[in-house]
Amino acid sequence: MKDLEIGRLLRAGTAGFVVGCRVSQVESPSFGALIRVPLADDYQICGLIHDIHIDDDGLVRQLVTAEGVEESIIADNRQNRNVPIEMSVKSVGYRENGRIYHLLPPRPALSLDMIYLCDEREICEFTSAGRFGYFRHLLRDKDIPTGDLLAAHLKQARQAHQACGSPEWFNAATQELIVLLRDDYRLLMDVLGAISDL
């Protein structure tokens, strides 16, 4: 499968980063998608998209209040828009020298590094490495919509694992979340409620 570029890095830290993309690129990534940032020396950072944000600009503010805006003007604004769509990404691990770690990356990516959407094989490899260690990065972060993010991620990962021939992955992931959240009833109910909507 051809690498699917979804944007370039705007800013980064160890715990997460923000990706900018053109409006024409926004069809590919989605909330909960696993993405990767390949860097030098067989090192790449993996993360989950936890927010997609579209800022306004002066022209959009004018168009919103105008009456009878032609479709061609709206289409032109969407296709030739200079303000990037921003995707916030939570770092959940990295790959180095062929091995996957569910730890925060030792160093962040750099501005303008290219970001790629993980394909089904890459999703299966990352999510089945170890014992769901990357879940703790999501469960500890109070600034992200944990329940919805986990549900969106599990939905995409379940589809990938079914395609890879390991449909039992989803049940194992759900059981692990129950164990991890046994002492946090509110978050457990939030996560299970979101997963039940799958």
**pLDDT tens, position by position, 45-91:** 999 999 998 876 666 666 666 777 777 777 666 666 666 789 999 99
pLDDT value at residue 197: 79
Q: Which domain holds residue 73?
A: 4-196
The token pair that represents 126 in the structure block: 């990352």
How confident is the model over 89-101, as a mean pLDDT? 96
pLDDT value at residue 40: 81
pLDDT above 90: percentage of residues in the chain: 65
How confident is the model over 26-46, as a mean pLDDT? 87
pLDDT category of residue 6 using cuts at 50, 70 and 90: confident
Question: Angle, to 10 degrees, between the axis of helix 120-128 and the axis of helix 146-163?
Answer: 110
User: Residues of 49-71 as b/e, b for ≥16 C-beta within 10 angstroms?
Assistant: bbebeeeeeeeeeeeeeeeeeee
**C-alpha torsion 160→170→167→1, nearest 10:** 10
Number of domains in the chain: 1
- Report the 10 Å Cβ neighbour count for 36: 22
pLDDT value at residue 136: 94
In the chain the first and final C-alpha atoms are separated, in Å, by 27
How confident is the model over 14-23, as a mean pLDDT? 88
How confident is the model over 134-140, as a mean pLDDT? 95
pLDDT value at residue 176: 96
How confident is the model over 124-133, as a mean pLDDT? 95
- Name the residue with higher pLDDT: 6 or 91: 91
CB 123 within 8 A of CB 157: yes
Does the pLDDT value for residue 25 go beyond 60?
A: no
The token pair that represents 165 in the structure block: 């021939």
Does the pLDDT value for residue 27 go beyond 70?
A: no
What is the rounded CA–CA span in Å between residue 153 and residue 170? Answer: 11
pTM of the model: 0.87
CB 7 within 8 A of CB 20: yes
pLDDT category of residue 110 using cuts at 50, 70 and 90: confident
